[in-house]
Each structure stands twice: as structure tokens, then as C-alpha cells.
Amino acid sequence: MKKKLCSFVAVVMTCALALGGCASATPAESKSSAGSAASGAAAGAAKSDVKLTYYSMWNETEPQGQTITQAVDAFKAKTGITVDVNWQGRDIRKTLQPALDGGEEIDLFDEDLDRVNGTWGKYLLNLEDYAKKSYDTTSSKPFTDVVSSKLIDLARSLGPDGKLSTIPYQPSSFLVMYNKDIFSKAGITSVPKTWDEWLADCAKIKAAGKTPITEDDAYIASLFGYHMARLIGKDKTVAMVTNKKIDDPAVLTFAQQWKDMYDKGYISKNASGNIYPAGQQEIANGSVAMYLNGTWLPNEIKGSAPADFNWGTFAYPAIGKDGDGTDSNQFGAQCFGINKDTKHPAEAFQFIVWMTTGEWDTKLAENSIGVPMANDATWPKQLTEAKAAFDATKTRYPWAVGMENDSDINAKIKTNFALLVSGKLDAKGFADAMKK
Amino acid sequence: MKTTKNKAMIILFLAPALILYLFVFLYPTTRTFIMSFFKVEGVTDALSSWKFDGFDNFKTLFGTPLFVSAMKNIGLIWLVGGISVLLISLLFGVILTSGVLGKSFLRSVIYLPNVISAVAMGTMWINYVYNPDFGLFNSFLKLIGQDGLAKTQWTGPELVFWSMLIAYCFGMVGYHMLIWMSGIERIPVDFFEAAKLEGANSFQRFSKITLPLLKGVCRTNIVLWTVSTMSFFVWSQLFSPVNLSENTVTPMSYMYELVFGASSSALTARNSGAGAAIGVILVIIVVVVFTLTQRIVRHDDVEL
């Protein structure tokens, strides 16, 4: 009898564990259901007794996550609207779509502007009407009038049917990030605008006892893409990837110019073996002057770089007569999107406005050494020069000028460039290897 | 009669596990298998959006240089890594069961890398062993006056695969050593004592007694090594953390990118159908290796 009783208890406990596991697997669902039941708000006006579920691309411990946590509390105090943040981190790339397909009640989410519009476009609500309205933090002006029109236009161009369906924030641009103190020490008074000026400045930096530039496996494709676009223009560069043929004669020119950089000792001796983030640590420790990277770099290496690191930024120099000038650069942003099935679109948009204008837009930029969205916001001092380069940008490059759109091409660039800048491959060898 | 009375209890005990197995394992497995014959973009896309394309996913994969590199890499990891790990772990296992002093301590030390997270281990290897400026390898080479060799880029394209393999194998030795040890310790001491009395030396005792009686354990080790190798993912990610490289890509890391997209470029196309096909290919490999191992390393009459 005792044996049977024990067996019965064991079975009950097993079932309880299993069922308990199932129940705890969907906490967000139950919470958001409660929120929707309490609401029933009409699309037009925001209500205060609402709970929003926000799938966030950040981790709670990142500067962005910490700022968003504070902003959510302030938003609740101001409007009464609760925002339940589900911190997904970069795993959102794999968790969001299954959650949306599974019918989980998610009101808003965020990720890269290209990804949200391109990959998750079918889940997005058209935001054109909400963006035309004015809000508390927009000084009675339409929302779109107080934030970067360049990014709003970009979001609209990427949106489903060309409609504004996401609101960008945390913008970034891909530029040459450099150590201004090394430039000063080397006697460089103005940033290079052409390849000849670039080479002259590299010589000065080397003479000053520093390494001019570094690279690592994560950003080699971007460097190749930028350089090719400066030689033959964006369209021809992207077309090589589309046609899966990296065979333009200018590939040899690229290889000759970077072989020359290697021969002269202008690129870090570790560049061929640098695994991300090893390259940027060479910037942080002050041994290397330049690195083609995003405006997020000061935030990424603030833990290892000196607090008074003197940041400068300029656009990758112009190179060939058939290529693009310094007014062509990659730029983009993270962005918020609202689930088309949300019951609280007005409240969700109100939260987006809260995050992208006024106090919290500024705080987010300050805390993450990032770029603000609002036109009247001040950029962090580390990015003062980045603002000038961003404002001067007229043509947008896609990420890596398309070189990462194809994994095979990206992998080929990584291997062959590393061999080129370690002397294992000559210029012709590089061009031939890229054609295969 | 007793069995009949216990039927209800058997069903009651089996039911939770069986139900969970059906939902958590069998359903996704079947879905993945079917998905591998369809063109599917997102892994949770509705069935209505799936388009049947026969074996196209498999054909596409074998026509993709990066997948071919991934298969070559996994083949080398399995073969070279497998031989190295199983031999070294067997050697350690034999030494530690031979009555060596400090057996428990040494066993713990060799097993320790398994307790530490692979991410921490990978970071340690990349930053403190392979770093060209202050890493262990180049510092040691400098110390012994090999200045030329001390400039080696251990994580450059020519060596990164082998560096990754060494780092991975380092952590796996302890795990397989424990399995060998459990097998060796099951062999009755009488066998060795009798052999000793007959004048057999250490090598003879090892080759004539230990090895033949470890056939079952050997099979277990090969199957476990195959399963863990096929799911080789974390180390590939650690040695190419942002996007895929020819020298470190494995089927799992390539599958991850196909299914969830690239982390740096949002424009890289997703293809969950091809991702599922990779899963099917890996399963086939494991089953084939398991079957071959069963046939080649047979149980025989001296098995304990």
C-alpha cells in the first residue's frame, strides 16, 4: 500500500512538474492578455489603463536597456500606461517571429531598421497617420517634423508598400573612427579626403610610432565594399554581389592599394588574425589610429578605452574618378515597429514618441554614446565630427555596400583579405581568388 | 497476473514522458524532416506558405561553397579531433586507473574544462593563448628564442581551424576519459593478477586484456563523439563571432544563419527549408556512423 501511495505521489509530482513547465513557459502571454482585457482602447486616442508588451532587442544591463527601464517608469508615472518589457537581447532575431506566429500578444518590438521592415514587414502596422500627429514632447508640431527627416525617409522607403511602418531610433553611420590625439601627435591638421591624402597621413602616423589602421574579421567585408564603391560606385559594387561575380577589374586595384598599405606597414600586423572585437581593442589601447566602423564604437569600447579618449570621425576617402565621393556612406538605425494586431496602437505609438523625442531621446543618446533622433537634441561630444559627416551624407550605402548579403562572398572576402594583409597573397592572387 | 495488475501503473508512469516526447521531440522532428523538402523562409511560417521543391534544398546546399566548407570542416573535426581525443583520453584513462598517486585530483583537473562554460573557455583560448602579442603560445616561443615563430597569427585564416580544433579537443578529453575509466574499472582485477602471474608485462596486459574488453566502451565513445561533433556550434561562433568564415563554419552554424538570418546583415536571405535539410543530413550521418560502429566494433564473447 505504502509502495502504491509513493508511486501515485511520484506520478502526480511528475505531472505537476510538466504542467508547471508549460504554464511558466508563457508568462508574457498571460500578462498581455490581462492587459488587453483591461483596455479595448480605440485606435485614435491613447488611454491610461493599458498594459503594453514590448519585445526589446536590448538586454536589461546594457546602457540602452537601463535607460529604457527608467523611461518606462517615467512613462507610467506620466501617462498611467504600463510597458511590460520582455528583454530578448539579440536573440529577438530568432524569438520574435515564432512568438508573433504563435499569437502571443506583443504590441511593439524593435531591431535593425532593415530587418524589421524586410524580414518582419508583414507584421507591421502602418504608422503614417500616427506620425502626422503632435504629442506632448513635439511642441505642438507633427512628430515627423521634430525628428531626423533623413531617417524617416529611409524608414518609409524600406517599409511595406513604401509606407512609414517603423520609427527609427539609435541611428548610426559607418565612418572612419579615429584617435584625434594620435593625429595631432603625427602633425595631421585635417582629415584625408582622397587616397593620396590618406596615404600621406598614414606615413605621418607611422613616423609618429603608431599603426595607422586595423581591421578584424567582422568588418572586412565593409572595408572591401566601401573601397570598391569609392572605385566604381555603389551600383556596380552591389551588382557584383547580385551577380555573384566579384570580377570587376577594380578588384585588382583594391588589392594593389591594400597590398601597398601592408607593404608600408600601415595596417596592424595583427589584422589578419584579429577576431572581433580584437581590432577595436587596438584602438582602445591607443596603438592604432583608425578603424572603419560604426558610430557605436565609442560606446562599445568605453570600458577599455581611457575616459578622455579623444574621438574623431571622417568619411572614408574618395579614391577613383568613377567612384563615389565622401558624401556616400552607410547609415541606418534601430527602429520600433507596432504589431498590426495590437489592441493599443495609439498607446504604443505614444511610447515610441516618448523614447524618440525630448528627455528620453537625449538620455538614451547620452547613456549609450549614441545618436539622438530629435532634430533639436545635442549629439554626444564623442560624435561631434560624426554629425558633420552624417549631415553631409547624400547617398546611402546598404550595409557593407551589399558585401554581406551573400554569406559565400563575405566569407571569401574575409579569407582573402586576411591573406593579402599578411603577405600570403599578392594583389593578383587576391583578385584571382575573388573571381573563383 | 501481477503484470496485468500493474498495467495501469505502467501506463500512468509512462504517459507523461510519452506525451512530452511526442509533443516536444517527435512533432518538431517530423516537421523538420518534411520542411526539408519545401521552400520555407521563416521557421514558423504557416504550412500554407510552404512550397514543395523536392530535393532542391539538398542540391542547393551541396552547390554552396560555404556548406561544402562546413562539411569538410566537420569531417576533419570528427576524424582528426576524434582520433586525437579518443587516444589521449584513453591514455589518461589507463594511467589514472593504474594506481597512480593523486588519481582523484588528476581526474578532476582533466575533467575541469567540461565544468566551465564553452564561451568562457573559448574566450580564454582566443585572448590568453592565441593572442599574438601576449598569448601563451607566442610568449613561450619568444621565451625560447623562436622570434620568427612568435609572430604566428594563430587565428589567421591558415591556422584558425586548427586553433579552434585544439581548443575544442582540450575540453573534450576529460569527458571521454571518464567513460574509458568506467570501462576499465569494470574489468575484474583477477584478470590482471592472473596475467601478471603468467609473466605478462604492462603493454601485454593493456593490449591483450584492457583493449579487447573495452570494445563496448569504444563504441559508446565513438557514438558520443559523433553526436557532439555534429552539433558543433558554440566554438564555431566563438572563432567567428559576427559572421561566417570558411575555416570555422560548421553545418550547425550555417544552419543557424540560414534559419534566423545573419547577425550583422539584415539583408542576408533566410532559408529555413535548407536549414531543415542540414538537420536531416546531420541525422543521417549520425545514424550511418552509429550503424557502422555497431557492425565494425562488435560485441564478442569476451565482452563483460
Q: Indicate if the pLDDT at residue A185 is higher than 80.
A: yes
Per-residue model confidence (pLDDT) at position A34: 35
Q: Does B270 touch chain A (CB under 8 A)?
A: yes
Q: Which structural domain range is residue A102 located in? A: 38-172+332-386
What is the full DSSP assignment across A35-53? HHHH----SSS--SS-EEE
What is the number of structural domains in chain A? 2
Q: Indicate if the pLDDT at residue B23 is higher than 70.
A: yes
pLDDT digits (tens, 9 = 90+) for A360-385: 999 999 999 999 999 999 999 999 99
Claim to verify: residue A419 and residue A378 sit in the same structural domain = no
The SS3 call for residue A333 is: strand
Q: Name the least confident of A6-10, A70-74, A196-200, A260-264.
A: A6-10
Show residues of chain A in contact with B251, CB under 8 Å. none
CA neighbours closer than 13 Å in the CB half-sphere of residue B223: 17
Which residue in chain B has the smallest CA separation from A6? B9
Q: Indicate if the pLDDT at residue B29 is higher than 80.
A: yes
Q: What is the pTM of this model?
A: 0.89
Which residue in chain B has the smallest CA separation from A241? B268
Q: Does B263 touch chain A (CB under 8 A)?
A: yes
In a domain, A413, yes or no: yes
What is the full DSSP assignment across A259-324? HHHHHTT-B-TTGGGPPTTHHHHHHHTTSEEEEEEETTHHHHTTTTS-TT--EEEEPPPB--TTS-
Claim to verify: residue A205 and residue A188 sit in the same structural domain = yes
Claim to verify: residue A299 and residue A318 sit in the same structural domain = yes
CATH number of the domain enclosing A409: 3.40.190.10
Claim to verify: residue A308 and residue A351 sit in the same structural domain = no
Per-residue model confidence (pLDDT) at position B297: 77
Claim to verify: residue A66 and residue A208 sit in the same structural domain = no
Burial A324-340, CB ≥16 within 10 A → b, else e: bebebbbbbbbbbbbbe
Measured in angstroms, the CA of A75 and the nearest CA of chain B are apart by 31
Interface mutation target, options B9, B67, B267, chain A, most CBs of A under 10 Å: B267
Per-residue model confidence (pLDDT) at position B299: 61
In a domain, A430, yes or no: yes
ipTM of predicted complex: 0.89
In a domain, A232, yes or no: yes
Domain B49-298, second-level architecture = Orthogonal Bundle (1.10)
pLDDT digits (tens, 9 = 90+) for A275-304: 999 999 999 999 999 999 999 999 999 999
Measured in angstroms, the CA of B126 and the nearest CA of chain A are apart by 8
Per-residue model confidence (pLDDT) at position A46: 76
Q: Does B293 touch chain A (CB under 8 A)?
A: no
Claim to verify: residue A139 and residue A209 sit in the same structural domain = no
Q: Which helix (H) or strand (E) holds B79?
A: none
In a domain, A404, yes or no: yes
Size of interface A-B (CB pairs under 8 A): 133
Show residues of chain B in contact with A221, CB under 8 Å. 243
Q: Indicate if the pLDDT at residue A14 is higher than 60.
A: no
pLDDT digits (tens, 9 = 90+) for B207-232: 999 999 999 999 999 999 999 999 99
Q: Indicate if the pLDDT at residue A342 is higher than 50.
A: yes
In a domain, A29, yes or no: no
Mean pLDDT, rounded, for B271-282: 97
Show residues of chain A in contact with B133, CB under 8 Å. 270
Candidates A98, A118, A273; nearest CB to B267: A118
Show residues of chain A in contact with B20, CB under 8 Å. 18
Claim to verify: residue A348 and residue A402 sit in the same structural domain = no
CA neighbours closer than 13 Å in the CB half-sphere of residue A357: 23
- Structural domain spans, chain B: 1-35, 49-298
pLDDT digits (tens, 9 = 90+) for B85-140: 999 999 999 999 988 999 999 999 999 999 999 999 999 999 999 999 999 999 99
Percent of chain A with pLDDT over 90: 89
- Please indicate whether, in this complex, the C-beta atoms of A93 and B263 are within 8 angstroms of each other: yes
Report how far residue A30's alpha carbon sits from residue A360's, in angstroms, rounded to the nearest whole number.
Answer: 29
Interface mutation target, options A17, A410, A412, chain B, most CBs of B under 10 Å: A410
Measured in angstroms, the CA of B260 and the nearest CA of chain A are apart by 6
Show residues of chain A in contact with B264, CB under 8 Å. 218, 399-400, 404
The SS3 call for residue A172 is: strand
In a domain, A20, yes or no: no
In a domain, A6, yes or no: no
